[in-house]
A and B are shown apart, each in its own frame.
Chain A
Amino acid sequence: MLTIQNLRKTFSNSENEKFDIINIPFFEMNNNEQTAIIGESGSGKSTFLNLISGIVSSESGEILFNGTNITKLTGSKMDKFRAKNFGYVFQTFNLLQGFTALENVMLGMMFCGKADKNRSLSALDKVGLSKRINNKPSELSVGEQQRVAVARAIVNSPGMILADEPTANLDRKNSGTVIELIKELCSMEKIALILVSHESDITDKFKNKRHFSEINIQVTHPQN
């Protein structure tokens, strides 16, 4: 389903020196697989997810997702591909504050076609928020906000969910609930999952667990 080969991404520092932040020789995931990746803050985990979803572009290498080389997609083609194939769950939930829970979920659908209200309601029901559909994020608890974000991520039935530190802003109880919810929904909906976290007690909940340093061989010296 997902195959990454020789993927490199560089960043420049203030002296305009270039550093490799991502250097992944090979990474592979199968359909419906759930993988947790642990790594320190600033190790490039978010950039890794952003590369997979095409939010940032790589300098070299290829990312094959269901046979499509994402690195070759540009502009609106990439945006549409992302909308259709990836669901995102962020550390800070990233809900639009002026929109209700239902509207935030529907927003996840409208960029890849028609926003279906019934499907959005069903997604909110799956995360246990069927009675909070008209509440705005500010009226929801942090745990509820993250559940809205999960509903938004699954509503399109994407091929893969990318969860970027989804529990970093939650307490222990809510963290456990959200992780279980994401895992369960991905299994139920047959959606692959990559979850990145710096907390081992989160990644320990997954059978398939990898350290980011095993995947990403960082080059620390300046590039010429």
Chain B
Amino acid sequence: MGILRIVYKNIKQRSLSSLLTMLSIMLGVALVTAIILLRQESEEAFNQTAAGYELIVGPKGSSLQLTLNTVYQIGMPIQNMPLNTYELLKNDKRVKLAIPYVLGDNFKDFRIIGTVPEIFTEFEYKKGINYRIDHGKLFENDFEAVIGIETSKRTGLKVGDTFTGSHGVDSYEGAEAHDEFKFKVTGILEKTFTAADKVVFVTMNSVWKIHHHEEENNKDTTSVLKNENTITSILLKLKNPVYFDLVRRQINDNKYEGINAQAVLPVLEIKQLFDIIGNINSILLVIAYLVIFVAVISILVSLYNSMNERKRDIAIMRSLGATRFKILKIIILEGALISFTGALSGILLGHFVIFMMKNKISELAGIQISGTNFNVFELYIFAGTVLLGVLVSMIPALKAYKTDVAKNLNPVS
């Protein structure tokens, strides 16, 4: 039997108090871990997705809105711009790939995006990875659709099924259904953990046809798609990175063939977004640190309160030859073991919670989070919590150190 056995027995003897203290530390550390993980992994996931989009060209307005709308399918599109913007860029010798997006309708909240087949054959949403068909085939004709895996799961659409879109990028009450135009699902994409999992890809012409039909019937007076064929945004890949700044500046300074548009770097936009989120994140972290601090203080309270009832046990151990230092060590080790267990289980709980939430996060934000990546910062949190546990345990340990052996040895002297 060693000193750790004594420590374990002492903790077991006060199991409820020790367990509650450990649980409060565990929750505090789990909170910090979850916040750190979410921040780290979501930032990585957002950046990874944004990295697939070198440059986005869209109508003038909020650059963040253009990025969020095009890359993550979040929020409303700014406006539409003439098709010739796309044609000019596509034919630019410096441009390697130009993919147009036309938004306008949705199917049960899943956005219908008019685009070109090159999005499946040439566009790499992550380095070296194209969208791949899991079931069926790519669209070849108008009113054929390739849908994301989440769209399929949540709407029940399968290859061969037909559906009709509703007006607007998101569904709303009273939205007009385009019953005259039925889409047929020709393919379902493999899971990408990007916004593409939650969209419906169709030909641009399909979207234009629906909206021209509405305009001809004077049914839609508010549509942003007027008589001409317009597009919402363009994903651009350049042949050489040196063209980046030049093309961007030309477009943004209205010096590109007279087009009125903006060109944004999604990675830059996401960095700025996370700088803003980072401030909120810091506030959350401060709260979580306070939770840990209060939890660790409960070690002090719990151990200190137990000292009165443990005076006799300490005196017995001293009478058996335990040195004052050994008693000090036992009490400090108790605090250290409680904080160690609390911190370790907290880190594991934090990862477990994120791991269990990963599908929900993927559904909500369209990003892939694993919950299994460990951050060096977690090591600091772990070490800091244990160190704090040791430090606060010193106060009751000093009280134990000073225990008067003769006075506490016998209730009757």
Contact = CB atoms under 8 A, between A and B. Distances in A.
Given A94-B410, A106-B1, A107-B317, 5 more contacts: A76-B323, A90-B410, A92-B412, A96-B9, A97-B13
Nearest to B8: A98
A79 B1 contact: no
Contacts of A47: 406
Interface residues of B, number: 29
Contact of B324 (A75, A92, A106, A152): A75
B174 interface: no
A98 B1 contact: no
Nearest to A83: B321
A103 interface: yes
A98 B6 CA distance: 9
B323 A99 contact: no
Contacts of A79: 318, 321-324
**Most chain-A Cβ atoms within 10 A of its Cβ — which of B12, B320, B322, B411?**
B320
B326 interface: yes
Contact of B317 (A76, A98, A111): A111
A82 B319 CA distance: 8
A94 B322 contact: no
Nearest to B321: A83
B321 A84 contact: yes
Interface string B1-13: 1110110011011
Interface in A158-208: 164, 168
A46 interface: yes
B410 A46 contact: yes
B315 to A, nearest CB: 8
Nearest to B326: A111
Interface stretch (A27-35, A50-58, A65-73, A216-224): A50-58
A55 B1 contact: no
Could you tell me the dominant secondary structure of chain B's interface residues?
helix
B316 interface: yes
Interface in A78-122: 79-80, 82-84, 88, 90-92, 94-99, 103, 106-108, 110-112, 115, 117
B319 A103 contact: no
Nearest to B11: A98
Nearest to B404: A56
Contact of B409 (A76, A94, A108): A94
B405 interface: yes
Nearest to A84: B321
Contacts of A164: 410
10 contacts: A53-B319, A56-B405, A56-B406, A79-B324, A83-B322, A92-B410, A111-B320, A111-B321, A112-B321, A168-B412
B313 interface: yes
Given A46-B410, A55-B406, A55-B409, A94 B319 contact: yes
Contacts of A112: 321
Contacts of B324: 75-76, 79
Given A75-B323, A115-B1, A107 B410 contact: no
Contact of A110 (B1, B9, B413): B1
B238 to A, nearest CB: 72
**Most chain-A Cβ atoms within 10 A of its Cβ — which of B6, B321, B324?**
B321
Contacts of A97: 13, 313
A103 B9 CA distance: 10
Pairs of residues from A and B, 10 with the lowest C-beta to C-beta distance, nearest first: A83-B321, A111-B321, A98-B13, A76-B323, A79-B323, A115-B1, A106-B1, A94-B316, A111-B322, A56-B406
Interface in B312-365: 312-313, 316-326
A98 B316 CA distance: 13
A184 to B, nearest CB: 23
